[in-house]
Structure 1
């Protein structure tokens, strides 16, 4: 069973399944996050949707680069969770199936290429309180070996 975080499923609401990949990018006592300005300003684990026919790890490399400008390596799967939410940028309700990976940030190659995103290094202790969704916070907690 895949754990669900966030809003409950709304009875009668149709959801579009949206598989995605996200990265916990640790370096020492810091984590590389993305700050997304809209639709609501929030810190997030870098990542996003997997395009049709795209391998999840290829999608992870692409999404992390688009949202942070960094290349990554040493990738391993951490876990998977689900979120049910409205995605205003796409104008639909989604069942987000979020695969989360632990990876090492290798080096920056410039600013994020995706509009509205800023790469931000945060102390992990701050990130645990600042990440915008409970699933991201749970995956960071797990990656750090902290009790849930």
Structure 2
């Protein structure tokens, strides 16, 4: 069995809602990484896996919705989970992330999710800015940054 990196603290007597997602680590030719800003919070591009979707299918759909691009999915760099409380949904979640190195394909349409703003930043700044620890872990792993 492969060990999965875990972040956050599992509190006893709390029922967590398990939500599995897929996220892309997309670098441009300046070695900047794509992150998505939603108001004042930052996330890797990607999101939840729907019923009857594979992690790869979910990532392709999410990138199209958030960025308007096709995606070329490369290496699966890991899986990590995060115990956290979502203020947006007022619920406790166990977020399980599948993380893939990706290349941006072609622009197919305007993003569907208008509040998701694509930004490019260097990996060190992304690690600090990302809202979820398991996503910061994935950026470190993908970019070769050392834990600080």
Shorter chain as normaliser: what TM range?
A: 0.7 to 0.9
Task: Assess if the C-alpha contact under 8 Å between 1:76 and 1:102 holds in 2.
Answer: yes
1:62 corresponds in structure 2 to 61
Measured in 2, the distance between the counterparts of 1:91 and 1:129 equals 24
Q: Residue 61 of structure 2 aligns to a residue in which SS?
A: helix
TM-score of the superposition, structure 1-length normalised?
0.87
Q: Cα deviations across residues 48-83 of structure 1 (Å, max 9, x unaligned)? A: 110111111010001112122222104220100001
Alignment size in residue pairs: 144
Measured in 2, the distance between the counterparts of 1:65 and 1:90 equals 24
Measured in 2, the distance between the counterparts of 1:102 and 1:33 equals 13
1:34 corresponds in structure 2 to 36
- Over the residues paired in the alignment, what is the CA RMSD in angstroms? 1.7
Mapping of 1:1-148 within 5 angstroms? 1-5=3-7, 7-28=8-29, 29-37=31-39, 41-148=40-147
Cα 1:57/1:17, change in 2 over 3 Å? same
Measured in 2, the distance between the counterparts of 1:73 and 1:24 equals 11
Instruction: Give the stretch that moved more between structures: 128-137 or 92-101.
Output: 128-137
Gaps of 5+ in 2: none
Q: Cα deviations across residues 32-58 of structure 1 (Å, max 9, x unaligned)? A: 111112xxx211101111011111101
Instruction: Give the stretch that moved more between structures: 118-127 or 57-66.
Output: 118-127
TM-score of the superposition, structure 2-length normalised?
0.87
Gaps of 5+ in 1: none
Task: Assess if the C-alpha contact under 8 Å between 1:69 and 1:108 holds in 2.
Answer: yes
- Structure 1 residue 134, shift from structure 2 partner: 1.7
